[in-house]
Amino acid sequence: MDIIVCIKRVPETAEAEIKVDPNGKDIVKDTLNFDINEADNYALEEAVLLKEKFGGKITLISVGEEECEHILRMGLARGADDAIRITDEKFSELDGFATAQILYSVIKDIHFDIIFTGCIATDDGYSQVGPTLAELLGIPHATLVTSIEVKGGIARVHRELEAGLLEAVDIKLPALFAVQTGINKPRYASLIAIRRAASKELKVLSSKDIGLEEPRRKIKIESLFVPPVTKRAEIIEGSPPEAAAKLAEIIKEKGLL
């Protein structure tokens, strides 16, 4: 079973303070850590699990500058066979469609049974690249996938709906699955595998190589801003013991003890 996994390098923002940069269209990134997008990390593991079961080859693809080689090498160390990085000066301010178009330009010439993406990127939150790519390739897809079982060219997947409900859906391969976080337990690479992956050659492709002079952008970020605050918590000041004591009193006054 040949599998392609599309991965993205993103800043870790869940636990960090975020600031808008002076041009107002991006965030200040030099103080942030970067890593593989969370859902993509689960997508990668799902690919490795299927390869262990069915054999075949895993190809990783990422659109990005040199820094994103780190996540590609980590993916190679975890069990992927090849890695492709697509990069070009023209590939800036990409929206979901443009990213999908770039990926399509490469993937259309590669054999695959399954393409994996994450179901959402923690930076832009578009949730768009997977289904868009599937449509460009003319293959079926399922998003928010929380389990996959492949049998005879059909994948039985669970999709996560609202309020804990799931739906079971059968999808005929080749297909694209946008994976939800929590679908598996991503493994860590061994030191030996990391060392081996460090010297592996990555394929680097430019816009010319993929025959896409200018990806088409359909939406544009005009500006970023801090969401207007409608309500704000009363912040309890003081050292941790002082603040905790005040908070405990508040809980008591409300009759909650």
Partner 1 sequence: MKIFVLVEHRQGKVRDITYELLTVGRELAEKFNGEVTALLFGGVDEKIDRLKKNAHHIILVEDEKLKNFNAELYQKALVPILKDEKSYIMLIGHTAFGIDLAPALATELDVPISTDCVGIQIEDDNFITIRQMYGGKLNAKVSFCEPGRYIITARQAAFPAKDGNLDGKVISMPSPVGEIDYRKFIEYVEPPIEGVDITKADIIVAVGRGIKDKDNIPMVEELANALGGVLACSRPIVDAGWLPKERQVGSSGKTVKPKLYIAIGISGAFQHLVGMKGAETVIAINKDPNAPIFNEADYGIVDDLFKVVPVLKEKIQELKKG
224 binding partner 1? (CB under 8 A):
yes
Q: Of 113 and 209, which CB lies nearer to partner 1 in the complex structure?
A: 113
Residue 84 CB contacts under 8 Å (≥ 6 apart), including other chains:
59, 60, 61, 62, 106, 202, 203, 204, 205
Q: Of 173 and 202, which CB lies nearer to partner 1 in the complex structure?
A: 173
Residue 209 CB contacts under 8 Å (≥ 6 apart), including other chains:
none
Q: Of 21 and 66, which CB lies nearer to partner 1 in the complex structure?
A: 21
Q: Residue 124's closest CA among 228, 36, 37?
A: 37
204 binding partner 1? (CB under 8 A):
no
110 binding partner 1? (CB under 8 A):
no
- Give how many residues touch partner 1 by CB under 8 A: 85
Q: Residue 217's closest CA among 112, 93, 40?
A: 93
Give the integer Cα–Cα distance in Å for 41 and 8. 9
Q: Of 182 and 206, which CB lies nearer to partner 1 in the complex structure?
A: 182
Q: Which of 51-59, 64-72, 152-160, 205-213 is the region at the interface with partner 1 (rule: CB under 8 A)? A: 152-160
Paired strand residues for 175: 114
* Contact present, 72 and 60 (Cβ < 8 Å): yes
248 binding partner 1? (CB under 8 A):
yes
Q: Of 82 and 160, which CB lies nearer to partner 1 in the complex structure?
A: 160
Q: Of 62 and 128, which CB lies nearer to partner 1 in the complex structure?
A: 128
* Binding residues among 27-66 for partner 1 as defined by CB under 8 A: 27, 42
Which of 165, 191, 199, 208 is close enough to bind partner 1 by CB under 8 A? Answer: 165
Residue 198 CB contacts under 8 Å (≥ 6 apart), including other chains:
73
185 binding partner 1? (CB under 8 A):
yes
* Identity of the residue numbered 209: D
Per-residue contact flags (x/-) with partner 1 for residues 65 to 104, judged by CB under 8 A = -------------------------------xx--x----
For 215-241, give one letter per residue: b (16+ CB within 10 A) or e. Answer: beeeeeeeeeeeeeeeeeeeeeeeeee
* Contact present, 153 and 40 (Cβ < 8 Å): no
Smallest gap from Cβ 79 to partner 1, in A, equals 20
Q: Residue 35's closest CA among 76, 77, 5, 7?
A: 7
Smallest gap from Cβ 81 to partner 1, in A, equals 27
Q: Read off the tokens for 174.
A: 């080749």
Q: Of 77 and 183, which CB lies nearer to partner 1 in the complex structure?
A: 183
198 binding partner 1? (CB under 8 A):
no
* Binding residues among 1-30 for partner 1 as defined by CB under 8 A: 13-18, 20, 27
